[in-house]
Amino acid sequence: MTIAARINATFVSAALVLTLLLTAFTAFREYHIARERTVDAALAEIRSHPDLQLAIYNRDAPRLRTLMAGFLEIPAVASAITRDGLGELLAKVEGPGGSEALQPPFSALRGDLSTVDTGLTAFDAQMNPEGNGLWTAWTGDGLPLYLTVPVFTAVNPAQQGLVAYDFFLAPADPAANSSLRVIGYMQVAISRERLLEGIGPVIQRLFYGCLVLIVLCGAGTALATRRITRDLSRLAQLADEVASGKVEKPLEIKASGEIRDIAAVLNSVIGGFTSLQREKDVGQRLLSMKVDERTSQLSRRDEELTRATQEISATQTRLQRLAYYDSLTTLPNRRLFTEQLDLLLGLNHRNGHTLALLFFNMDNFKRINDSLGHRAGDQVLQEVAKRLSLKVRGSDSVGHNVDAGESIDVSRLGGDEFTVVLNQLDSIESAIKVGQRLLDEVERPMTIDGQELVVSPSIGVAIAPRDGADVEALLRAAGIAMHHAKESVRDKIRLYSSDMIAVGGRLELESDLRKAVERGELVLHYQPQINTLTGAVIGAEALLRWMHPEHGAIPPSQFIPVAEEIGVIGQLGDWVLAEVCRQLKAFDELGLKLPKVAINISAFQFTERFTQRVQAILQEVDLPASRLELGLSEGTLVDDDGTARQILADLKAAGMYLSVDDFGTGHAPLSYLGRYVVDEIKIDRSFVQDCDRSESSARLVGAIIAMARSLELGIVAEGVEREEQYHFLIGKGAEILQGYLFSKPVPPEELQAMLAPWHFVEQLQAMKA
């Protein structure tokens, strides 16, 4: 757009805006004047009829209509209504177009006005009050303005029998004039459409006059602007040509003043362009020579950079290998596993696929390190990694969904922990089948340093996104399932479920465990030991339970190792000793006979002060030492420094009953049985489980019983659950049995009924029969 065009457009726009503002102001003013003129005329008409009071008093409708005829002569009045003092309609007259479909109630017309005030109100189609200005008149529903005027009288309108003489005489009475009364109201409907029609000609004349003035001024402005900007436009066109290099000769412009000065500047620019072009040609030739020289240098530098890049790439590959792969097994480490699994979970989430994470942990791996050395332990881990990698099929893994160089089908997270990722599962059962196949492969015997070993893993399985949508949640779920698999004797593969107790919050668990005794969260359950010859309960094993306020019952296998690590096992052990002694004393006071209670002692409790602590508790409750049976693990007894032997001797001298708990599971030499003063061995439930089904288990249990007899040791068979096990053990000579066949571990209150004489006799007789 040219300068002239912009000036003209600006002028026209400003003139139109001013015209509209002037027109709007004039319309508002004219409408207001017309409305006030109409109101004043209506008030004057009311004051011109003093006999209006008498007509209202007599409720003379014909006379009222005659008096109101004058209102219709006012141009904008559409109708008039006379009402009595209570607002009741007495008479009505209407002009052309004065018929109204809607008639607002009198109370709405008066609103908040007092009885003596004059009101001017307006309503919309819904009978809601609105403004009475120009805007509502123009945009409204066409309803009129309502003027309500009180009609005053000097007489008392409530007085009966008044005549015209009274109304004409009353204004002359000063006392009456001092107290005027409202005898009725005049309601005048003022048509807003007629008011608008009345001011229309004035507005039109003003608007069209302004338009004519705008056209004349615009034409004059355009002529003046064109004359001023004609030379400027030519200069601008020539300046564009100079900038593009099309003009090489000086310009000749016949003008004066500023335009002549601008032309001189353009001529100097043209001269500068000519000299610049010559310098440019010289520079181009010099630049070409430099480019050739630099090209040769860059070629040599490129070769050097290529060699350096290759070296850096090789170094990066080695560093990446060290950062993302386990140096012992060459499997992906935790870092690569976490990054790739996070990527895979995102892809599966978008595509709606299912993924399984198998978490492997080797059972009793620490024992291999301690007994055979760390070198043998490393060889075991390498063999496990090799077997897992070879056994995981391509269809099981995630290799087809991530970079082949960064597959995490099998990973080592650290220590003896491995993971296997199964992608795009068709069913959860498929994950269990793969896990069982891997379990069988790992459990095959392996030869390490000429010694045959069998390693058994515990496997936890978690499904994404069901059990966790991110890496942390999925690992936590699989870890919880793996810990539950470790606790189970039969199920070495456990699928995570929401009802598993998640004690993965180690810090929280430690904090709560330190306060468990003082909060009263620990309880003891008792499992009776039955003499199958007499049916009597000859003892019971005390089993510790932690009733966590949030996680519910937490089994000892989860919190006892933590208690040993953080050093509170002594506090827990003291509480168990005191509680067992207190319960035995309570049974004695009730007249119930429970000869002894077995307590399992942790190796961390087995210190030089242990004997004094037990004796102090027994003295405190006045209980004989023979009522306590202390169960010791094989790991505690194989200590060769003489400390364990002395503590056992002291306990035996004090009169306590000593037993070897979970006999045969500690891989300890049998020679320790001859060195220590023990009274009894307990056959672990893992041996009892299959003694009636497996010939090897049967021979093993029979050998343990025969050995115990030859050493004159007592025997207790734990974990008896079926009658077939009962008959086998009885046949081999084991008389004291313990297990779910007779009772699960129960609170003391439930144990009381079992202490009654001959409680189990009927059950034993039925099984013998």
SS3 readout for 679-710: CEEEECHHHHCCCCCCHHHHHHHHHHHHHHHH
Q: Which of 746, 718, 740, 682 is nearest to 524 (CA)?
A: 746
Chain position carrying tokens 């007249």: 591
Amino acid at 493: I
Quote the CA–CA distance of 143 and 609 in Å, as a whole number. Answer: 107
| Sign of the Cα pseudo-torsion (488, 494, 499, 505, in order) | positive
Quote the CA–CA distance of 116 and 180 in Å, as a whole number. Answer: 10
> Looking at residue 404, what is its pLDDT?
38
Contact 423/348 with Cβ under 8 angstroms? yes
Quote the CA–CA distance of 407 and 83 in Å, as a whole number. Answer: 99
Taking phi over 0 as left and psi of -120 to 50 as alpha, with beta for the rest, 452 belongs to: beta
> Looking at residue 395, what is its pLDDT?
42
Contact 719/522 with Cβ under 8 angstroms? no
> Looking at residue 532, what is its pLDDT?
93
Q: Where are the beta strands (DSSP E) in 633-678?
A: 657-663
- C-alpha R_g of the chain: 56
Q: Which of 269, 277, 276 is nearest to 249 (CA)?
A: 269
Chain position carrying tokens 């009129």: 144
Low-confidence ranges of the chain (pLDDT < 70): 1-4, 97-102, 172-178, 227-239, 241-261, 263, 266-267, 270-271, 273-274, 393-407, 489-490, 499, 501-507, 635, 638-642, 664-672, 674
> Looking at residue 216, what is its pLDDT?
85
Residues 6+ apart with CB under 8 A from 468: 462, 474, 475, 476, 477
> Looking at residue 126, what is its pLDDT?
80
> Looking at residue 522, what is its pLDDT?
94
> Looking at residue 250, what is its pLDDT?
63
Residues 6+ apart with CB under 8 A from 336: 324, 325, 406, 408, 411
> Looking at residue 506, what is its pLDDT?
64
The partner residues of 525 in beta bridges, in order of sequence, read 543
Between helix 723-732 and helix 695-710 the angle, nearest 10°, is 40
> Looking at residue 402, what is its pLDDT?
37
> Looking at residue 572, what is its pLDDT?
93
Quote the CA–CA distance of 502 and 493 in Å, as a whole number. Answer: 17
Contact 554/503 with Cβ under 8 angstroms? yes
> Looking at residue 597, what is its pLDDT?
96
pLDDT tens, residue by residue, 348-391: 888 888 999 999 999 888 878 877 888 899 999 999 999 999 98
Quote the CA–CA distance of 393 and 637 in Å, as a whole number. Answer: 46
Q: What is the DSSP letter of 178?
A: T
> Looking at residue 424, what is its pLDDT?
84
What is the separation of C-alpha 458 from the centre of its chain, rounded to a whole number of angstroms?
33
